[in-house]
């Protein structure tokens, strides 16, 4: 095979990246509204890219007039707020009508710079992909896109009572997949879904595992058992309790109802557990759950378990780490997860995970080592997994130690370095094609 001509400077890393997140701001609190794992992903990736001398400017839609047009998130990371539609009361489903206004705002910011200010566009979620597609063409730079979730995949595994993703999103995603120079997939499974459902070019798909902030999410220096005792004391939780934790957005996709139903099954089987069972649900309504924000509380009442369930609002990462350390096990019965950052955060904190065997969770969780994977969403199956922790009080600590070791391989520095390689490859390929077509 003839070797490719290597042009001077073709392997240069980008100096500055325009990162687009239309529908959710990196400044929003994860766990409520549309803010979740993608917010954490963007914030952490941007910070680590800046640490290796790749500046990042994140464009996001303004949701209040009180925001400054530009806010420094961290050294080398700037958040730019773009006016597009009313500040409040605009659902994610209504945002496609504001993409023209958002695109205008992005181009206004670009027009104030010298040519070549941005070396590359990295978009997150399909709405951002459409804006990035136009920016990429206008600026003559590569488009790197991350789906985060896919309409076809979500619709194939829809939770009861959830709303299917509209055809317009499917069409939009297909267009972005075709337009992108590179597609970043969280796992090899997601890469396969891109190729199967959207006919993505395999040469354009790169697998980069998301990371976890190992400075925040880590076991207590005094050990897992001591850390659990200290975290429970700080959060006002009983020391000898079995604590299965749900953390995340309260919506059908995340299936917190499966945990509550599993707890009801567990108590039916062994009523004596009621005196030492506490089930925290940490998070706020989101997605289709916004239409029925009290549905989960009502379900707990119907199941007769309100005395053991504790609903808590979303919390900052440092306090979330305390909830993870305090828990016996994190329960994640989602219908779909592109990766499952919450599962990795919990494991990094020294807590095992019981999760649905869907999406990226089989990568995030080592079945039988750092937790248990459950096929399907039958509450009885989750109750069976929880019973193992009830019957063997030492299991949580043993698996927690293995979980922390497993999660240690998911650092954001590794993810940022791999992402930078994707950027460099996309830029090199763009220049190579430009030289061929002269």
- What is the mean pLDDT for each group of 10 consecutive residues in the chain (438 residues)? 39 92 77 65 95 97 85 95 84 86 92 91 96 96 95 87 90 97 95 96 96 93 95 97 95 93 97 97 72 82 97 92 98 92 96 96 96 97 98 96 95 94 95 80
pLDDT at 287: 57
- Does the annotation flag 327 for ligand binding? yes
Domains of the chain: 16-211+412-431 (3.40.50.2000), 224-407 (3.40.50.2000)
Residue 298 annotated as lining a ligand binding site: no
Tell whether 124 is in a known binding site: no
Count of CA atoms in the C-beta half-sphere (13 A) of 89: 1
Predicted confidence at residue 25, as pLDDT, reads 80
318: which residues sit within 8 A by CB, 6+ positions away? 216
414 among annotated binding-site residues: no
Quote the pLDDT of residue 180: 98
| Residue 345 labeled ligand binder | yes
Check the annotation: does 249 bind a ligand.
Answer: yes
Predicted TM-score (pTM) of this structure? 0.84
Separation of alpha carbons 189 and 283, rounded Å: 27
> Would you say 204 is a known binding-site residue?
no
Is 154 annotated in a binding site? The answer is no
Instruction: Determine whether the annotation assigns residue 24 to a binding site.
Output: no
Q: Is 198 annotated as a binding residue?
A: no
227-231 long-range CB contacts below 8 Å, 24 or more apart?
Answer: 227/325, 227/350, 228/325, 228/326, 228/350, 228/396, 228/397, 230/325, 231/322, 231/323, 231/325, 231/326
CA angle 196, 360, 247 (to 5 degrees): 140
**11 annotated to a ligand binding site:** no
Q: How many CB atoms lie within 10 A of CB 435?
A: 11
Is 104 annotated to bind a ligand? Reply is: no
Strands annotated E in 225-359: 244-247, 279-282, 309-312, 329-332, 353-356
pLDDT at 176: 98
| Strand arrangement of the beta sheet that strand 309-312 belongs to | 309-312, 279-282, 244-247, 329-332, 353-356, 371-374
Helical (H) or strand (E) element with 301: helix 295-303
CA triple 340-345-347, angle to 5 deg: 100
Instruction: Give the pLDDT of residue 291.
Output: 52
pLDDT at 66: 79
Are the beta carbons of 355 and 165 closer than 8 angstroms? no
310 carries a ligand binding annotation: no
So what's the pLDDT on residue 7? Answer: 44
What is the maximum span of the chain, computed from C-alpha positions, in angstroms? 77
Q: What is the pLDDT of residue 29?
A: 58
CA–CA dist 106, 137 (Å, integer): 13
Question: Other CB atoms closer than 10 Å to residue 74's CB: what's the count?
Answer: 14
| 324 known member of a binding site | yes
98 is in an annotated binding site: no
331 in a labelled binding site: no
Cβ–Cβ < 8 Å for 362, 373:
yes
302: Cβ–Cβ under 8 A, 6 or more apart, which residues? none
| Two tokens, residue 280 | 């925290």
């Amino acid at each position: 095979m003839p070797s490719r001509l290597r042009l001077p400077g073709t392997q240069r890393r980008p100096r500055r990246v325009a990162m687009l997140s239309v529908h959710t701001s990196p400044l929003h609190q994860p766990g409520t509204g549309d803010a979740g794992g993608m917010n954490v992903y963007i914030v952490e990736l941007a910070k680590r890219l800046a640490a290796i001398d790749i500046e990042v400017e994140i464009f996001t839609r303004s949701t209040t007039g009180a925001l400054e047009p530009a806010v420094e998130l961290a050294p080398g990371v700037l958040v730019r707020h773009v006016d597009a539609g009313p500040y409040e009361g605009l659902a994610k489903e209504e945002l496609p009508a504001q993409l023209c206004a958002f695109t205008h705002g992005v181009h206004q910011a670009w027009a104030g710079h010298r040519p070549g200010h941005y070396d590359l566009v990295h978009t997150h979620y399909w709405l951002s992909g459409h804006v990035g597609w136009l920016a990429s063409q206008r600026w003559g730079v590569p488009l790197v896109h991350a789906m985060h979730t896919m309409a076809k995949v979500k619709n194939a595994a829809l939770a009861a009572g959830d709303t299917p993703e509209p055809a317009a999103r499917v069409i939009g995603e297909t267009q972005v997949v075709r337009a992108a120079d590179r597609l970043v997939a969280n796992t090899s499974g997601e890469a396969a879904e891109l190729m199967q459902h959207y006919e993505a070019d395999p040469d354009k798909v790169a697998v980069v595992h998301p990371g976890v902030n190992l400075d925040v999410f880590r076991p207590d220096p005094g050990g897992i058992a001591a850390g659990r005792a200290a975290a429970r004391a700080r959060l006002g939780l009983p020391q000898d309790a079995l604590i299965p934790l749900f953390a995340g957005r309260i919506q059908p996709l995340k299936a917190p109802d499966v945990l509550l139903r599993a707890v009801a099954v567990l108590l039916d089987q062994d009523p004596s557990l009621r005196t030492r069972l506490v089930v925290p649900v940490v998070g706020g309504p989101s997605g289709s759950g916004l239409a029925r924000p009290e549905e989960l509380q009502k379900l707990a009442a119907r199941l007769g378990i309100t005395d053991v369930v504790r609903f808590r609002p979303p919390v900052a990462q440092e306090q979330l780490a305390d909830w993870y350390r305090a828990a016996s096990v994190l329960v994640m019965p989602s219908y779909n997860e592109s990766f499952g950052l919450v599962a990795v955060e919990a494991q990094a904190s020294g807590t095992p995970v019981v999760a649905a065997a869907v999406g990226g969770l089989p990568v995030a969780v080592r079945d039988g080592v750092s937790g248990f994977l459950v096929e399907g969403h039958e509450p009885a199956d989750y109750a069976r997994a929880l019973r193992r922790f009830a019957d063997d009080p030492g299991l949580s600590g043993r698996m927690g130690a293995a979980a922390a070791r497993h999660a240690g391989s998911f650092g954001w520095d590794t993810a940022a370095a791999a992402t930078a390689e994707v950027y460099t490859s996309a830029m090199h390929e763009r220049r190579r094609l430009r030289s061929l077509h002269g």
